[in-house]
Amino acid sequence: MSTGLNDNEIISKVLSGDHQAYAGLVDRYQSYVFTLALRMVKTREDAEEVAQDVFVKAFKYLADFKGASKFSTWLYTIVHNTGISFLRIKKLDVHSLDNEQVFERADNLDSGMRANMVEQKSKIRMVHDAISMLSPDDAQIITLFYKAEQSLEETAQVLGIETNAAKVRLHRARTRLKEKMEVYFSEEIRNL
């Protein structure tokens, strides 16, 4: 295994013919890629399919990784593009950030959930549930910034936008998340 090597060393090994070394990169990034995919496509089955597709594409085009950015940033760009394509193919709605329908959709999806909400829900689960109610765009930027170890500049690069735009998007996404938590998890928040 290539666990002791850094990303660039593993990539060099893979490019020089040791394809098994790629397993080291898959092991290292599978949770990040899967979480990002799950934030976009919402179901675990679809997220696994997208994540697998991402690693296959990354392998195929590994020679194009120039090392100008972190491998993770390059990989998450593939996640972003693959996720968007998947949503388009599945004809799911990719809501824009300013689309108020996002809230209506979340309300509808979760109409029965409020009544049956488990009172002792852990705060981590609560945050996960609140994130899953966000639009793919909002959920993705929050995950990139908080869980995928990406700076604002790198997050912007993954999403193909300016750093300032990423900053505004992140602020809005967090505000919406807070609103979701206040609406659906007010009791849990009080107990924190």
Partner 1 sequence: MNDKNLNSNAGHDGMDNRLWSYIDGTATAPEKTVIEQLLASEAAWKAKYQELLEVHQLLHSTELEKPSLRFTKNVMEEISKMHIAPAAKNYINNRIIWGLGIFFITLLTGFIVYGFGQMNFNSGQSSPIGKTLDKLNFSNLFSNNLINAFMFVNVVIGLVLLDSFLSAKRKAHRKAA
Classify residue 185 as exposed, middle or buried by CB count within 10 Å of its CB (0-12, 13-18, 19+): buried
Compare residues 85 and 115 and give the one whose CB is closer to partner 1. 85
Does position 147 interact with partner 1 (CB under 8 A)? The reply is yes
Spell out the long-range contacts of 157-165 with Cβ–Cβ below 8 A and sequence spacing 24 or more: 157/69, 157/73, 157/77, 158/73, 158/76, 158/77, 158/79, 158/80, 159/80, 160/77, 160/80
Alpha helices in 90-184 (DSSP H): 101-109, 113-116, 123-132, 136-146, 152-159, 163-184
Q: What are phi and psi of 90, to 5 degrees?
A: -75, -5
Compare residues 44 and 90 and give the one whose CB is closer to partner 1. 44
Shortest separation between residue 35's beta carbon and partner 1, angstroms: 4
Among 77-85, 97-105, 112-120, 163-171, the segment contacting partner 1 (CB under 8 A): 163-171
Among 73-81, 93-101, 103-111, 164-172, the segment contacting partner 1 (CB under 8 A): 164-172
Does position 60 interact with partner 1 (CB under 8 A)? The reply is yes
Compare residues 108 and 169 and give the one whose CB is closer to partner 1. 169
Q: What are phi and psi of 126, to 5 degrees?
A: -60, -45
Rounded-to-10 torsion of CA 34, 35, 40, 44: 60
Site string for partner 1, 61-100 (x = CB under 8 A): xxxx------------------------------------
Residue list 12-41, contact with partner 1 (CB under 8 A): 14-15, 19-20, 22-23, 26-27, 30-32, 34-35, 38
SS3 content of the chain, % helix, strand, coil (to 5): 75, 0, 25
Does position 161 interact with partner 1 (CB under 8 A)? The reply is no
> Amino acid identity, residue 4?
G
Q: Which residues bind partner 1 (CB under 8 A)?
A: 14-15, 19-20, 22-23, 26-27, 30-32, 34-35, 38, 44, 47-48, 51-52, 55-56, 59-64, 123-124, 126-128, 131, 142, 146-147, 152, 167-168, 170-171, 174-175, 177-178, 181, 192
